[in-house]
Structure 1
Amino acid sequence: MPQHTPNTRVCRDCDGFATAAITTGTRHADGTRATLRVTCPTCRGTGTAAPAASLSRAGR
């Protein structure tokens, strides 16, 4: 019988990859590359999105 995984709400902007390491093209004195860590501004680095607020229906 197949196992079911719970549905987690993945961020639509980063697809769950909330942090990326970007090389700057320069190197440190020991020869390693200088990198910047950039986080997704939408989910603030969590990789998940908050559920959308439910809309209230007005009128009849």
Structure 2
Amino acid sequence: MPQHTPSRPICGHCDGFPTVTITTGNRAPDGQRETISANCPACHGTGRTVPASAYVRTGR
């Protein structure tokens, strides 16, 4: 039988895109652009409003 995955609420601040890469405008010595990563401050980079630990089910 098929297993149904429960829907996870998406963070309203980042719309499910929790980590972005931003260019600094500088270039590395080899010519590549230097980038930094930034995480959503509301969900801390998870993309969900409910912590992942809430979805863990323990068995007997």
Q: TM-score, normalised by structure 2?
A: 0.71
Note the alpha carbon deviations across 1:20-42, whole angstroms, 9 max, x for none.
00001110001110001000010
Structure 2: segments with no counterpart, 5+ residues: 52-60
What's the Cα RMSD here? 1.7
- What CA distance in whole angstroms lies between the structure 2 residues aligned with 1:31 and 1:9? 40
Number of residue pairs the alignment of both structures matches? 48
TM-score (norm 1): 0.71
TM-superposed CA distance for 1:50, in Å, is: 1.8
Paired position in structure 2 for 1:55:
none
Larger-Rg structure: 1
